[in-house]
Chains A and B, each alone.
Chain A
Amino acid sequence: EAGVTQFPSHSVIEKGQTVTLRCDPISGHDNLYWYRRVMGKEIKFLLHFVKESKQDESGMPNNRFLAERTGGTYSTLKVQPAELEDSGVYFCASSRDTYYGYTFGSGTRLTVV
């Protein structure tokens, strides 16, 4: 089966601009998660979708971040406007309805300059 696909793999934007990250989960995986690793820090949970519904968005840093999941398929994470501290690697992961382990994507490295 195809894995979790994220794009772009890298993005460099200026402070104040908008960036949209996309994640395509494994087909049939209802659970979709976003995580972020800021340089030098641990990987941190951002939010969790079950199908198209946000199950838990307790990790979203602030209202500059907006996540959507269209029709329970792919998901987007928009940062608007981007700030320097948003730089990091954004990971997406998916899993089936009963837990047996996530499959992570390769991540999107976001650099805000």
Chain B
Amino acid sequence: AQSVTQLGSHVSVSEGALVLLRCNYSSSVPPYLFWYVQYPNQGLQLLLKYTSAATLVKGINGFEAEFKKSETSFHLTKPSAHMSDAAEYFCAVSDQGSNYKLTFGKGTLLTVNP
């Protein structure tokens, strides 16, 4: 069975600081990995995805994530946080054999302080 662990339910950074949101996964087959973001009162928006191509994936709004098979990790980073990045972030995993059914982590709430 697949599972996703997001370390830290709440991360707080200062504006301009590095954003690092951690995600570790377990999967019995090569996974597809995703980061979604949910802004207040909005739906889930896809930030980026890894589907076995380049291990460093660039997404929208300056975010990127690196797939590290040896560490079973897919951490999300952004060099400089903006106030508009404040939202909840979800890491998810799926595989082709599950018809792309997503298994989500519990989410990390990012707060950006001025």
Contact = CB atoms under 8 A, between A and B. Distances in A.
The answer to whether A and B come from one shared complex is: yes
A65 interface: no
Nearest to A98: B100
A91 B34 CA distance: 17
Given A55-B99, A56-B99, A43 B46 contact: no
Interface of A: 3-4, 31, 33, 35, 41-45, 48, 55-56, 91, 93, 95, 99, 101-107
17 contacts: A31-B99, A41-B106, A42-B105, A42-B106, A43-B44, A43-B102, A48-B99, A48-B101, A99-B96, A99-B100, A101-B46, A102-B46, A103-B46, A104-B36, A104-B45, A105-B43, A107-B43
Contacts of B96: 99
Nearest to A43: B104
Interface string B35-76: 010000111111001000000000000000000000000000
B31 interface: no
Contacts of A41: 106
B103 interface: yes
Nearest to B101: A45
Contacts, number: 53
A95 B100 contact: yes
A1 B45 CA distance: 15
B104 A42 contact: yes
B89 to A, nearest CB: 12
